[in-house]
């Protein structure tokens, strides 16, 4: 009983172990695997990322110089980030937010 009482008193003083999620968002740990974006200035459309992607979330159209990335198919394994020779894939620490429609992220090269 005394052991339990000390625990009860301790938990009265200490902060809760959980985070009040929708109101308070936890700080992402550096290096968290999240959404990716393509730096089209660096990308040479070699399709390495498309080849390694396990969930076929990346589609590259070299003729149109266009990349389609679906965050809803993505597993956040970051194999593409590791495979990119040009360092053109920029990883983010935030995972894609839920949405009503599964939209693609489209990246295009400006210079033709």
Partner 1 sequence: MNEGTVVNVNTVIPFGPQHPVLPEPVQLRFKFEGERIVDVVPNIGYVHRAVERACELNDYKRNVTLCERICGICNFMHAMAYCESIEMITDTEVPERAKYLRTIWSELGRLQSHLLWLGLFVDSIGFESLFMHLWRDREIVLRLNEKTAGHRIQLSTCTIGGVKKDMDDRLIAEYRSSLAELKKRMDNLAPVFVKDRGVQARLVGKGILPKNKTSLLGAVGPTVRGSGIPQDMRTLGYEAYSYLDFKPVVYDMEDAYSRMLVRIGEIYQSIDLINRALNQMPNGPILQKNTVFPRGTAITRIEQPRGELFYYVAGNGTNKLERCRIRTPTLANIPALVTMLVDHEVADIPPVLLSVDPCVACTER
Residue 109: CB minimum distance to partner 1, A: 28
Integer Cα distance of 57 and 71 in angstroms: 7
Measure the CA–CA gap between 25 and 19, rounded to whole angstroms. 8
CB of 35 to partner 1, least distance (A): 13
Minimum CB–partner distance for residue 32 and partner 1 (Å): 5
Identify which of residues 33 and 59 has a Cβ nearer to partner 1 in the complex. 33
Tell me whether residue 40 or residue 77 sits nearer to partner 1 (CB atom). Answer: 77
Query: 3-class secondary structure for the chain?
Result: CHHHHHHHHHHHHCCCCCCCCCCCCCCCCCCCCCCEEECCCCCCCCCHHHHHCCCCCEEEECCCCEEEECCCCCCCCCHHHHHCCCCCEEECCCCCCCCCCCCCEEEECCCC
Taking the complex as a whole, the smallest distance from the CB of residue 7 to partner 1 amounts, in Å, to 8
Of 3 and 111, the one with the shorter C-beta distance to partner 1 is: 3
Nearer to partner 1, 32 or 37 (CB): 32
Give residues in contact with partner 1 (CB under 8 A). Answer: 17, 29, 31-33, 52, 54, 75-79, 82
């Amino acid at each position: 009983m005394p052991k339990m009482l000390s625990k009860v008193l301790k938990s009265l003083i200490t902060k809760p172990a959980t985070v009040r999620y929708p109101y308070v968002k936890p700080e992402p740990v550096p290096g968290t695997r999240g959404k990716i974006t393509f730096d089209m200035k660096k990308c040479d459309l070699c399709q390495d990322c498309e080849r390694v992607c396990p969930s076929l979330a990346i589609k590259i159209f070299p003729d149109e110089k266009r990349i389609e990335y679906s965050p809803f198919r993505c597993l956040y394994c970051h194999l593409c980030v590791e495979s990119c020779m040009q360092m053109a894939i920029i990883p983010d620490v935030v995972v894609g937010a839920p949405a009503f429609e599964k939209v693609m992220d489209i990246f295009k090269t400006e210079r033709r």
